[in-house]
Amino acid sequence: MCRLACLVMTAALAAACTSVQLDSSPPVGFDLSGRWTLVPPASETAPSVRRLRAQGGMLSFVTQDFPVLRATEMVIEQSRDSMGIRYDVGDYRDISWGTRQRGLWEVRAGWHEGTLMILSKASDADARETLRLSADGRQLTIDVRISATGDDLNLTRVFRRTP
């Protein structure tokens, strides 16, 4: 029964990643530029890579491409057509609005219903990152959903803009 539920969830995530229409123009006031610090009480903790590898499966390899899972701070520079994110864990990620190839991933980034969505697809994995900015622009909630060959990771991270 659990295997069937996982297959259904994986299929739904894959369908959702391909069917969402994304706008390449940021909504007025949606600017992520600045320094962001994790709010631990409001955030879920990602499982360690060691634990994921012990369980087997592809998630341990896939999650390394999503540094937001481990980050406690980020510095974001956003422009009209892209943004760069420097994570305190030593990684840097460049995201362009539209569709791009990033390593093994085909990445689509843009806005849907007021949120920034980053949809990534590889031959054996799908990921959806949803970035929601609070009305006052001071809190950023990032939902990460990754599905890799039947394994799923669903995690929410909350960051606060720091002066």
Question: What's the rounded mean pLDDT across residues 59-84?
Answer: 92
Q: Rank 60-64, 101-105, 156-160 by mean pLDDT and report only the highest.
A: 156-160
Top-confidence residue, 69 or 48: 69
Q: Residue 163: is its pLDDT beyond 90?
A: no
Measure Cα distances from 77 to 32, 74, 81, 154 in Å.
Answer: 7, 10, 11, 26
Given a cut of 80, whether residue 1 has pLDDT beyond it is no
Tell me the pLDDT tens digit for each residue of 99-137: 999 888 999 999 999 999 999 999 989 999 999 999 999
- Architecture of the domain delimited by 2-162: Beta Barrel (2.40)
Domain definitions of the chain by residue range: 2-162
